[in-house]
């Protein structure tokens, strides 16, 4: 049976691309409706993330011209992740499935067909993965790669080269609604939900028009958010470092005593050297212990659901 699809598109000052994006998405959805792959109640939902240009007016016009379009307006710019979540949570009430996409047509919209097929096969979450990033600048590719590798190293469960183009079923969205955290990093959060999931590959294009809304500063703070919202490893590394320094201090101790016995030092050198290394290590271990507790507090304050039940059989 056909399902109701909501395509969620966060937009921040996207007046230059909105016309083309809405046209392409409209064509795609109308075809899907005609082929009875999705219901007539399906919609393309634009979320205006507090834009200062004509974006919202354009969205309002689209909505008045065609009931295929829907709009959500945030009161101010809250960032792509929050805009996306706002769209998803609004759509959850009416949609059976949602697909999120950027407004700049960088994600190939033909991936929608494959995502729908995968959903038919029973997958609750389908991650869109960029098969190549040749169209991105070297800098963007390099920073992105480093970021994904670093997250992997820190033990964050993340899908490599997956941005925010993904299909989520109503069931997955309802689970996502249980996560109350404020520092939102959906790429890290969605894999925590579990459920049957898979990936779909697509080519990443160049931005259709306009400039990237992720300047270096925003990209950096997004990366820091991604790491610090999902890993307490940096805190635990302080402890490891402290232990290493304590071990080194033993070697230094032996070394400085030998040098002292051999009479090759000025008075006080041995005492100072040993003190510096030993105290340094001790302090770092102490910070590490505090870090362990801070890490626990961090997880508690997130109030993440401890589990999500997929099914209950009780007869």
Assess 10 for contact with ligand UDP (CB under 6 A). Answer: yes
Token pair belonging to 312 = 């209950």
Write the burial class of residue 8 (CB in 10 Å: 0-12 exposed, 13-18 middle, 19+ buried): buried
Stretch that binds ligand UDP, among 10-18, 36-44, 263-271, 289-297 (CB under 6 A): 10-18
Total length of the chain = 315
Question: Binding partner of residue 11 among Mg ion, ligand UDP, none, CB under 5 to 8 Å per kind?
Answer: ligand UDP
**Helices and strands counted in the chain (H then E):** 10, 7
Nearest residue (CB) to ligand UDP, 13 versus 197? 13
Candidates 130, 189, 137; CA nearest to 165 is 130
Nearest residue (CB) to Mg ion, 181 versus 206? 206
Going by their DSSP bridges, the two strands 69-73 and 5-11 should be labelled as unpaired
The residues in 72-131 that bind ligand UDP, with binding defined as CB under 6 A, are 77, 79-80, 83, 102-104, 106
Write the burial class of residue 213 (CB in 10 Å: 0-12 exposed, 13-18 middle, 19+ buried): buried
Q: Which helix (H) or strand (E) holds 222?
A: helix 216-228
Stretch that binds ligand UDP, among 110-118, 127-135, 207-215, 294-302 (CB under 6 A): 207-215
Going by their DSSP bridges, the two strands 5-11 and 43-48 should be labelled as parallel
Chain centroid to Cα 234, Å, comes to 19
Assess 106 for contact with Mg ion (CB under 5 A). Answer: yes
Convert residues 84-103 into a mask of x (bound to Mg ion by CB under 5 A) and - (unbound): ------------------x-
DSSP letter for 76, please.
S
Residue from 110, 212, 283, 286 binding ligand UDP (CB under 6 A): 212
DSSP letter for 204, please.
B
The residues in 26-55 that bind ligand UDP, with binding defined as CB under 6 A, are 49
Terminal-residue alpha carbon distance, the chain: 28
Nearest residue (CB) to ligand UDP, 121 versus 216? 216
CB of 280 to ligand UDP, least distance (A): 41
Assess 108 for contact with Mg ion (CB under 5 A). Answer: no
CB of 55 to ligand UDP, least distance (A): 8
Contacting residues toward Mg ion, per CB under 5 A: 102, 104, 106
Residues at the contact surface with ligand UDP, assessed by CB under 6 A: 10-12, 14, 49, 77, 79-80, 83, 102-104, 106, 212-214
């Amino acid at each position: 049976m056909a399902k109701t699809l909501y395509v969620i598109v966060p937009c921040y000052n996207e007046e230059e691309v909105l016309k083309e994006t809405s046209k392409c998405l409209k064509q795609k959805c109308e075809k899907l409706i005609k082929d009875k792959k999705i219901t007539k109640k399906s919609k393309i939902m634009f979320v205006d993330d507090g834009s200062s240009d004509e974006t919202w007016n354009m969205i309002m016009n689209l909505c008045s011209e065609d009931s295929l379009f829907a709009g959500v307006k945030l009161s101010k710019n809250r960032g792509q992740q929050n805009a996306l979540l706002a769209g998803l949570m609004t759509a959850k009430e009416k949609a059976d499935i949602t697909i999120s996409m950027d407004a700049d047509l960088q994600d190939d919209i033909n991936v929608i067909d494959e995502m729908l097929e995968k959903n038919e096969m029973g997958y609750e979450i389908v991650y869109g993965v960029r098969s190549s990033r040749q169209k991105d600048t070297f800098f963007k590719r390099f920073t992105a790669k480093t970021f994904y590798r670093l997250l992997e190293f820190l033990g964050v469960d993340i899908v490599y080269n997956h941005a925010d183009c993904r299909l989520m079923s109503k069931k997955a969205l309802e689970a996502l609604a249980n996560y109350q955290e404020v520092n939102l990093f959906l790429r890290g959060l969605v894999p925590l939900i579990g459920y049957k999931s898979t990936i779909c590959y697509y080519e990443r294009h160049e931005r259709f028009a306009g400039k990237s809304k992720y300047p270096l500063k925003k990209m950096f703070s997004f990366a820091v958010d991604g790491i610090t919202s999902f890993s307490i490893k940096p805190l635990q590394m302080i402890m490891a470092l402290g232990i290493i320094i304590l071990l080194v201090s033993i070697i230094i101790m032996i070394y400085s005593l030998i040098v002292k016995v051999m009479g090759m030092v000025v008075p006080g050198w041995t005492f100072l050297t040993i003190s510096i290394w030993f105290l340094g290590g001790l302090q770092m271990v102490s910070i590490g212990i505090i870090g362990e507790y801070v890490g626990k507090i961090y997880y508690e304050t997130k109030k993440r659901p401890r589990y999500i039940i997929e099914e209950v059989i009780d007869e």
